[in-house]
Structure 1
Amino acid sequence: MAAWSDLTNDILEHITSFLVFPDHYRFGAVCKNWRSVSKQRRYPPAPQLPWLVLEEEKETRKRKFYSLSDGKHYSIEIPELHGRYICGSSHGWLFAVDIKINGILVNLFTREYYELPPFPAYSSKANVTTLVEKVPNDYKGGPRNYTFEEMQTRIIFKAILSHDPKERSDFTVMIMFGVMHTPAIWRPGDLCWTVVDGPKRCMHDIVYFKGNFYVLSPGNDLYVVDLESKPKLIEVGPQIDIEGCPAQRYLIDFNGNLLLLERFCECVEEKIEDQLNVTVGFNVMEPNLEENILYEWYDIDDFAIFLGRNSSIYVNSSHFPKCKRNGIYFTHTTVSFSADKFGCHDLGVFDMTNKKISKFYSVNVFPPLVGSPVWLTPNPW
C-alpha cells in the first residue's frame, strides 16, 4: 500500500475541498507535502459556519475562538493580535486596534496583514496620555478627552471590505469611526483615510452590495457611497417611519437581496445605575429603492443570519445539523452600555418561526471592555 504522503497533489487538493477549518489545519500538520497542498485553492472550500472570536487569554496571550459547528473552543497563537481590540471582520479577515490606536487588517489563518494609516477620529494636538475626539459643532455631548484604553475600544464602530484581499488587490476598506460613526475609506497605497462627505448623523451600519457601499442612518434612510474624487453619500431611500425604537439596525447582502434588519432590546433592570439590556426580537425588511418602500420578510426559509460588528453573514442551515433554520444569531449589541458593568452578556439566536430567543453560548462569560464577540468565517485558503 502506497504511503499517504505519496498521494498526488490533485487527489490531496480534492480532499481539502471537503474539510472545514479545524480539519484543514490538521491536514496541513501531517507532513511538508500536505502542508504545501493545504495552502492551495484550486477547489472551493467546504461550507462552514462562522466562528465566534472571543477574548485573549491572559496567561498565554492566545486568541480564543468558539466553533459553532462542533461546539468546541480553539486557542490560536496570533502575535499580530496581542493586546489588540477586534473592531470588525469581513471575508475572513479581522480588523484590530492596538493601545497606540494603530489599526491592522489581518487574516489570522494565513497571517497575511496590512497596516492601516492613522484613524481620523482624534486630534493630533492631544498629549501622550489622552486623545480628544473630533465631533460636530452641534453635537450635544461635545468633545471630550479619552484615555488610550478608552479610545482603543471606541474609535472604530465597524469595518468591512469590498472584496477578499487574497482574490483582488484593488479592494477597499470602509470604516465607521468616532462618536458619529462617520464613514471613511482606504485603499492599498493610500497614505491616509478619506472621510466620506454626508449628513452629520450617527450612522447604524454599512454593507457592500452589488458593487457599491451602502450606509444606513437612523430612520431607515439609506445612502449609496459615491466613490469619485471626493467620496460622498447620496440618498437613495426609503424614508419611511417605523414604529418602535430599535437598538440597532443592520444591512446584509442576503443571497442577492439587500435586507434591513432591526434589533429591539429591553431593559430588565429597574435601577438606572444597573441597566441591563437584552435583545427581545428582530424585524426583517427589504428596501425597494424604485418604489421607495420597505417589504417585510416573515421568514428566511432554510437560512441563518449572523449579526454583530462583523460584515453580516448568512449560511444555508440545511448544510449544518447544529445550525438553527430560519434563525438570526446575534452577539452583544454594540450600542448597549450595560457591557461596561455586566460584560458581553447579550448573545443568542432569534427563531423567526416562533419569535423566541434561545442561547447558543453561555452568558456572562465576557469581561467588560474587551470588545463584543465577532463572527468570523474561516478563510485559510
Structure 2
Amino acid sequence: MAAWSDLTFDVLEHITSFLPLPDHYRFGAICKNWRSISKLKRHPPTPQLPWLLLEDDKKTRNRKFYCLSEAKHYSIDILELHGRYICGSSYGWLFAVDLKITGILINPFTRECYELPPFPGYSEYTNVTTLIENVPSDYNEEPIGWTFEEMQPIIVWKAILSHDPKERSDFTAMILFGEMNEPAFWRPGDSSWTVIDGLDCSMDDILYFKGNFYVVAAMNLLCVVDFECKPKLIEVGLEIPAQISVEGCGLQRYLIDFNGHMLLIERFGHSDKNDKSITDGFIVIEPKLEQNCYKIWEDIDGYALFLGRNAGIHVDSCRLPKCKKNGIYFTHPTESISPVEFGFHDLGVFDMTNKTIGTFYSVEVFFPHVDSPVWITPNPW
C-alpha cells in the first residue's frame, strides 16, 4: 500500500470531494501540500446536514455552531458578526443586524459580504420607548420600558435570497419586517429597500419558487409578489383550509421548495402556563396552483426538512443516515420579549411517521432575547 504522502495531486483532490466540511478543513491541516489542495475548492464537500447557528460566546465573542452530523460544537471568530443578531439564512449566507438596525449579508465561511441599507420601518420605531405596556400578573413585576436596542428582534422577522450571490450577481433579497411582517426587497445597487403593498394581516413566511416570490399569511392565505409597476401582493385564489388539531392552534406557516414542489407547512400546538408556544406537530400541504387544489402529504419521501428563520432546507436522509427520515427539524424564535424568560420557545424534530416530537439538541442553552438558533448550510465554495 502506497504511503499517503506519495499520493498524486489528482488523487488527493478527488478525495476531498468525499469529505464533509469539518474533515475538509482537517485535511488541509495535515501539511502544506494538502492545504494547497484543499484551497482549490474545485470539488464541493459531500452532501451534509445543516449546522445550527447559536449565540455569541460572551467571553470570546466567537460565534457558536452546532454540527448536527457530528453532534459537536464549533466556535468560530467571525468579526463581522460581533454584536449582531441573525434574522435569516439562505444558501449559506446570513442576514445580520446590529444595534443601529443596519444590516449585512455575509457568508460566514468565506467572509464575502454585502452592506445593506437601513431596514424599512426604522423611523417608525425610533420614538418608541415601551414595547410591553403591562407585564403578565403571574410575573408580579412592574411594567417595564424597553430600549430601542431591545426591540431589534421585531424589526426583521425573516430574510431570504432568490439566488446564491456567488452564482448570480443579480440576486434579490426579500424580508418580512415590522409588527405585521410586511414584505420588502432589495437588489445590489439599490440605495434602499422597496416596500411591497401587502394585506391587512401578518405574513408568516416567504419563498422564491420557479421565478416568483410567494408569501403565506394567517389562515394559509397564499400570495405571489407582482413586481410590475408598483410592487404588490396578489392572492393566488387558492383557498387552503387551516389544518389544525382539535385541541391545538396554528402557530406558524412555512413555505419550502421541495424538489420542484411548493410545500406549505403548518406548525400547530398549544401554549403552556407561561404562555410559551409548544409545538405538537406539523401538517404538510402541497398547493397545486395550476389545478387550483391542494394535497395533504402523509410523509416527505424519506427526506428531512429544516425549518425556522432560515430559507427552508431539505436533505435526502438516505444519503445522510444520521438524519431522521420523514423528520421535520424546527427551531422557533421568541415570539415576544419577556422580562423574565429568555431564549427560544421551541426546538425539536417531528417524526411524520409516528406523529411524535423528539429532540436533536440535548444541551440546555438559554439565549438572550436578541438572538435565536438558525439553520445554515455551510457554503464555503
TM-score, normalised relative to structure 1: 0.88
Match of 2:52, SS?
strand
- The answer as to whether partners of 1:204 and 1:249 remain within 8 angstroms in 2 is yes
Match of 2:269 among 247, 265, 283: 265
The equivalences for 1:1-381 within 5 A come to 4=5, 7-8=8-9, 10-123=10-123, 126=126, 147-244=147-244, 245-269=249-273, 274-333=274-333, 335=335, 341-362=341-362, 364-381=364-381
Secondary structure in structure 2 of the residue aligned to 1:331? strand
Question: In structure 2, do the counterparts of structure 1 residues 96 and 280 end up closer, same or farther at CA, with 3 Å as the change threshold?
Answer: same
How many residues are treated as equivalent by the alignment? 363
Deviations 1:199-231 (A, max 9, x none): 232101001111111111112111111223432
1:137 aligns with none
Q: 1:56 to 1:37 in 2, by over 3 A?
A: same
Go from structure 1 to structure 2 and tell me whether the alpha carbon gap of 1:3 and 1:239 turns closer, same or farther (over 3 Å shift).
closer
1:272-322 deviation line (CA, Å, top 9, x unaligned): xx2232111100010011232221000012100000000010000112222
Structure 2 Cα separation of the partners of residues 360 and 339 of structure 1: 28
Q: Which runs of 5+ in 2 are unaligned?
A: 132-144
Q: Residue type matched to 1:48 in 2?
A: Q
- State whether residues 329 and 348 of structure 1, in contact with CA within 8 Å, keep that contact through their aligned partners in structure 2: yes
Instruction: Give how far 1:111 is off.
Output: 0.8
Shift in CA distance, 380/84, structure 1 to aligned 2, threshold 3 Å: same
How big is the shift at 1:342? Answer: 4.8
Q: Which runs of 4+ in 1 moved over 4 A?
A: 130-133, 336-340
Deviation of 1:131 after TM superposition, in Å, equals 7.5
SS of the residue corresponding to residue 164 of structure 2 reads coil
Give yes or no for contact 1:131–1:151 (8 Å, CA) kept in 2.
Answer: no
Question: Deviations along 1:180-217, whole A, 9 cap, x unmatched?
Answer: 11111111111111111222321010011111111111
CA displacement 1:46-66 (0-9 Å, x = unmatched)? 100000000100001000011
Q: Quote the Cα distance in structure 2 between the aligned partners of 1:236 and 1:363.
A: 43
Cα 1:254–1:89 change in 2 (3 A) is same
Q: Secondary structure at the match of 1:305?
A: strand
The sequence identity of aligned pairs, in percent, is: 65
Secondary structure at the residue paired with 2:24? Answer: helix
How far, CA to CA, are the matches of 2:6 and 2:102 in structure 1? 43
What CA distance in whole angstroms lies between the structure 2 residues aligned with 1:356 and 1:32?
49
- 2:138 is matched with none
Q: What SS does structure 1 have at the residue aligned with 2:263?
A: strand
SS at match of 1:80: helix
User: Does the 8 A contact of 2:250 with 2:266 survive in 1?
Assistant: yes
Contact 2:53–2:64 (CA<8 Å) still a contact in 1? yes
Cα distance in 1 between the residues matched to 2:283 and 2:38: 41
Offset, 1:263: 0.3
Range moving further from structure 2, 148-157 or 176-185: 148-157
Aligned residue number for residue 142 of structure 1: none
Question: 5+ residue gaps in structure 1?
Answer: 134-144
SS at match of 1:70: coil
C-alpha distance in structure 1 between counterparts of 2:321 and 2:371, whole Å: 29
- Specify the code of the residue in structure 2 equivalent to 1:379: N
Instruction: Give TM-score scaled by structure 2 length.
Output: 0.88
Q: Would the alpha carbon gap of residues 367 and 175 (structure 1) be closer, same or farther in structure 2, given more than 3 Å must change? A: same
The separation in 1 between residues aligned to 2:18 and 2:254, in whole angstroms, is 32
Aligned amino acid, residue 322 of structure 2: K
Q: What secondary structure is seen at the aligned counterpart in 2 of 1:262?
A: strand
Q: Distance in 2 between matches of 1:154 and 1:148?
A: 11
Task: Please report how far the alpha carbon of residue 23 of structure 1 lies from its aligned counterpart in structure 2 after TM superposition.
Answer: 1.1
Q: From the superposition, tell whether residues 309 and 124 of structure 1 become closer, same or farther in structure 2 (CA, over 3 Å).
A: closer
CA distance in 2 between counterparts of 1:375 and 1:57 reads 18
CA contact (8 A) 1:102 1:117 kept: yes
User: In structure 2, do the counterparts of structure 1 residues 2 and 300 end up closer, same or farther at CA, with 3 Å as the change threshold?
Assistant: closer
Alpha-carbon distance in 2 for matches of 1:106, 1:92: 9
User: In angstroms, what is the RMSD of aligned CA positions?
Assistant: 2.4
Q: Which moved more, 1:98-107 or 1:333-342?
A: 333-342
Structure 2 distance, partners of 1:147, 1:264, is 32
